[in-house]
C-alpha cells in the first residue's frame, strides 16, 4: 500500500501509517502536472488545503482508494470526480475546531480594540490613544452563520465573554440551539441586528458569495464581520466597497477566494485585518488533524471502518453498518440469479430498517449487483448509483414497517425484459446473515460460498439425478434444501457446494428432464 503525503501533516500521523507497513512518500508543493505524473502509483493521497486534487489528478489515479483531507473543508478536492471513480473522500473535522474558534475570538478582540493598528502605530513611533479607541465585546450581539462544530465552539466561548449569541443555520433544530444558549434567526434578521458577524459555513454552490453587496448593505454601519471559514463565502469585491465607503466598520479575513490573495485590493484598507489562513495552524491542531486522518485511513484500509466519509450517499448510521455486507451479498446473489443485465432494481427495507435512511443500504445492494458486471471501475457504495445511472439502470428504494417473521428484512428484485427475480435476507441473532427467500420461496442459507439453484418440478428421482451428475464429476455437496409450495408442484432445490461448479457439469445438469433452470452462484 503506497501513501502520498502531498501537504505537511504531523510526524505522528506519518509514523502511524508507516507502522502499518505502508510505503509513505512525503512530497509537498507539487503542481497539478507533477501530481498527474506520479499519482498512478499511489493508493492513498493525503492533503491539507494547498494541494488541489482536481478531476485531472483523480482520473490519472488508477489505483487510488482514498483521499484524506487533514482538516475540515474539501473544496480543494473534486468530490464529484472522486465519487465517479469510487474513491473515498474523508476529512478530519475535529482536530482544528478549538484552534479555529480561538482564532475567531482573537479576531473579535483585535477588531474591537484595534490591536494590529495600535501595534503598527507604536512601531512607527506614534502615541495615538484617542485614535485607537475601541469598544468592549461584553454586551454585544454576536451573529454566527453556520452553527456546526466550530460555530458551536465559538458560541460557547462568546457566551462566556458576556455576549448575546444568535445564529443562522437552516440545518440546526431549535432544540440544539437552545442547548448552546443560542437563538436562531433568519439570515436577514441576523445581518440587521448583530454588532459582530462571524462565518462558519462550508463553501458550496449554495454558500458561494452568500455575503455580497446586498447582504453587507443590511448590516449596521458599526458592524464587524469575520470569516475564518472558507474563501468565497464572502464576495471580496463587495466587501472592499463596503469597507472603503464605511458602510460597515471593519472586517477580518483568514481565508480567501484565491490563496494567497495576490492582486487583492483589501490589503490597502486600514479597517481590515488579514491573516494567512491560520485557523488550523497551531501545534496542537496540526498534531490532532494529522493523527486523526491517519487513524481514519488505517481503519478503512485495514478494517473497512468508515469515519467522516464525505462522499457516501448518506451519513453512515452505525446501526445500519452491519446490514451493508448482507445487502451487498443480496445484490450479488440477485445479479447472478437474473443472468442478464437488469433494467430496474427494486430495494425494499422492512421492519425496523424502515425508520432509517436506507440510501447506504441501497448503495450496498447496487454495489453487489454491479461488481460482477463491471470491469471499468472499482464499483463500491461511493459510486454505485452513478454507475447504475450511466448504464441506464433504474434504482428504486422503498420501506415497509411490515416484515413478516423477521425484525428486519431486505428484499431485492431485478426486473429486465419482462422477467423478474428476487431474493431477501436478514440478520439473525444466532446465525448472523441469512438469505431467507429466493423468487418467493422460503430458504435458509448463509450468503457465503458456492451454490447451485435448480428450479424444477417436484417429483421422485430429481434429487438423485442431480446428485449423480455432481458425484460423477467429483463435485461435493455440502448441504441441500428444497423449497416448495405444494407436493409435485414447482420447487426450488438449493445445493451448497464445496467448490465452484465447472461449466461442463452445469451444462449436463441443465439437460435433466423437468428441470426449468439451473444457475451457479458464487458469493
Q: Is the pLDDT of residue 376 over 50?
A: no
The domain spans of the chain are 2-94+285-303, 97-274, 319-448, 449-523
Domain 2-94+285-303 belongs to what architecture?
3-Layer(aba) Sandwich (3.40)
| Rounded Cα distance, 122 and 107, in Å | 20
| Rounded Cα distance, 426 and 149, in Å | 36
**Where does the pLDDT of residue 393 fall: very low under 50, low under 70, confident under 90, or very high at 90 and above?**
confident
| Rounded Cα distance, 445 and 229, in Å | 52
- Per residue in 7-61, pLDDT (tens digit) is 999 899 999 999 999 999 999 999 999 999 999 999 999 998 889 999 999 999 9
All 3 cell numbers of residue 10? 504531523
Q: What's the mean per-residue pLDDT of the chain?
A: 90
With beta carbons less than 8 A apart as the criterion, state whether 388 and 345 touch.
Answer: yes
Q: Is the pLDDT of residue 375 over 60?
A: no
**Where does the pLDDT of residue 472 fall: very low under 50, low under 70, confident under 90, or very high at 90 and above?**
very high
- Per residue in 321-360, pLDDT (tens digit) is 899 999 999 999 998 888 656 678 999 999 999 999 999 9
With beta carbons less than 8 A apart as the criterion, state whether 388 and 343 touch.
Answer: no
Pick the more confident residue, 492 or 60. Answer: 60
Q: Report the CATH number of the 449-523 domain.
A: 3.30.70.260
Of the listed ranges 291-305, 379-393, 468-482, the least confidently predicted one is 379-393
| Rounded Cα distance, 105 and 196, in Å | 11
Q: Is the pLDDT of residue 422 over 60?
A: yes
Which residues have CB under 8 Å from 517's CB, separation 6+? 453, 454, 455, 510
Q: For residue 379, what pLDDT is reported?
A: 78
Q: For residue 430, what pLDDT is reported?
A: 83
User: 131: cis peptide before it, omega within 30°?
Assistant: no
* Fold of domain 97-274: Rossmann fold (3.40.50)
**Where does the pLDDT of residue 439 fall: very low under 50, low under 70, confident under 90, or very high at 90 and above?**
confident
Domain 319-448 belongs to what architecture?
2-Layer Sandwich (3.30)
Task: Give the three-class secondary structure for 408.
Answer: strand
- Per residue in 167-186, pLDDT (tens digit) is 998 878 888 899 999 999 99
Mean pLDDT for 238-243 is 97
> In CATH terms, are 2-94+285-303 and 97-274 the same topology?
yes
Mean pLDDT for 230-241 is 95
By annotation, the residues acting in catalysis are 230, 259, 277
Q: For residue 342, what pLDDT is reported?
A: 67
Q: For residue 340, what pLDDT is reported?
A: 59
**Where does the pLDDT of residue 204 fall: very low under 50, low under 70, confident under 90, or very high at 90 and above?**
confident
Amino acid at each position: 500500500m503506497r501513501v502520498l503525503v502531498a501537504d505537511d501533516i504531523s510526524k505522528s500521523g506519518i509514523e502511524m501509517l508507516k507502522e502499518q507497513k505502508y510505503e509513505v512518500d512525503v512530497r509537498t508543493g507539487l503542481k497539478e502536472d507533477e501530481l498527474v505524473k506520479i499519482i498512478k502509483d499511489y493508493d492513498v493521497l493525503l492533503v491539507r488545503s494547498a494541494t488541489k486534487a482536481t478531476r485531472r489528478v483523480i482520473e490519472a489515479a488508477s489505483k487510488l482508494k482514498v483521499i484524506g483531507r487533514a482538516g475540515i473543508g474539501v473544496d480543494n478536492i473534486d468530490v464529484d470526480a472522486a465519487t465517479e471513480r469510487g474513491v473515498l473522500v474523508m476529512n478530519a473535522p475535529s482536530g482544528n475546531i478549538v484552534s479555529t474558534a480561538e482564532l475567531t475570538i482573537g479576531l473579535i478582540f483585535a477588531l474591537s480594540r484595534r490591536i494590529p493598528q495600535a501595534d503598527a502605530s507604536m512601531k512607527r513611533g506614534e502615541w495615538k490613544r484617542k485614535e485607537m479607541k475601541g469598544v468592549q465585546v461584553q454586551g454585544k450581539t454576536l451573529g454566527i452563520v453556520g452553527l456546526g462544530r466550530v460555530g458551536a465552539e465559538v458560541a460557547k466561548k462568546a457566551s462566556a465573554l458576556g455576549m448575546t449569541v444568535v445564529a443562522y443555520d437552516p440545518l440546526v433544530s431549535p432544540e440544539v440551539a437552545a442547548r448552546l444558549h443560542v437563538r436562531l434567526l433568519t439570515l436577514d434578521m441576523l445581518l440587521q441586528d448583530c454588532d459582530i458577524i462571524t462565518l462558519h459555513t462550508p463553501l458550496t454552490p449554495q454558500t458561494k458569495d452568500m455575503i455580497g453587496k446586498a447582504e453587507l448593505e443590511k448590516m449596521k454601519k458599526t458592524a464587524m464581520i469575520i470569516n475564518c471559514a472558507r474563501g468565497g463565502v464572502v464576495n471580496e469585491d463587495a466587501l472592499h466597497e463596503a469597507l472603503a465607503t464605511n458602510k460597515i466598520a471593519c472586517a477580518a479575513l483568514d481565508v480567501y477566494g484565491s490563496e494567497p490573495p495576490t492582486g487583492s485590493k483589501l490589503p490597502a484598507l486600514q479597517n481590515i485585518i488579514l491573516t494567512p489562513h491560520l485557523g488550523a495552524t497551531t501545534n496542537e491542531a496540526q498534531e490532532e488533524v494529522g493523527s486523526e486522518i491517519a487513524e481514519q485511513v488505517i481503519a478503512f484500509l485495514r478494517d473497512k471502518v468508515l469515519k467522516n466519509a464525505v462522499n457516501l450517499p448518506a451519513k453512515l448510521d452505525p446501526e445500519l453498518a452491519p446490514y451493508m455486507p448482507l445487502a451487498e451479498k443480496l445484490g450479488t446473489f440477485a445479479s447472478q440469479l437474473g443472468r442478464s443485465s437488469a433494467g430496474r432494481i427494486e430495494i425494499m427495507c422492512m421492519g425496523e430498517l424502515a425508520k432509517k435512511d436506507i440510501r447506504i443500504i441501497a448503495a450496498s445492494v447496487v454495489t453487489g449487483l454491479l461488481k460482477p458486471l463491471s470491469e471499468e471501475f472499482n464499483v463500491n457504495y461511493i459510486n454505485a448509483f452513478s454507475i447504475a445511472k450511466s448504464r441506464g439502470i433504474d434504482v428504486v428504494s422503498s420501506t415497509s414497517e411490515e416484515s413478516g417473521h423477521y425484525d428486519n428484512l431486505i428484499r431485492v428484485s431485478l426486473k429486465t425484459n419482462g422477467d423478474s427475480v428476487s431474493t431477501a435476507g436478514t440478520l439473525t441473532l444466532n446465525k448472523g446473515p441469512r438469505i431467507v427467500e429466493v423468487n418467493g420461496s422460503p430458504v435458509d442459507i448463509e450468503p457465503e460460498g458456492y451454490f447451485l439453484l435448480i428450479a424444477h418440478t417436484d417429483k421422485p428421482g430429481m434429487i438423485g439425478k442431480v446428485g449423480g451428475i455432481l458425484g460423477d464429476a467429483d463435485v461435493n455437496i455440502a448441504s441441500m434444501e428444497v423449497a416448495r409450495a405444494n407436493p409435485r408442484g414447482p420447487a426450488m432445490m438449493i445445493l451448497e457446494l464445496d467448490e465452484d461448479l465447472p461449466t461442463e457439469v452445469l451444462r449436463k445438469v441443465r439437460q435433466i428432464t423437468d428441470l426449468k433452470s439451473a444457475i451457479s452462484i458464487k458469493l
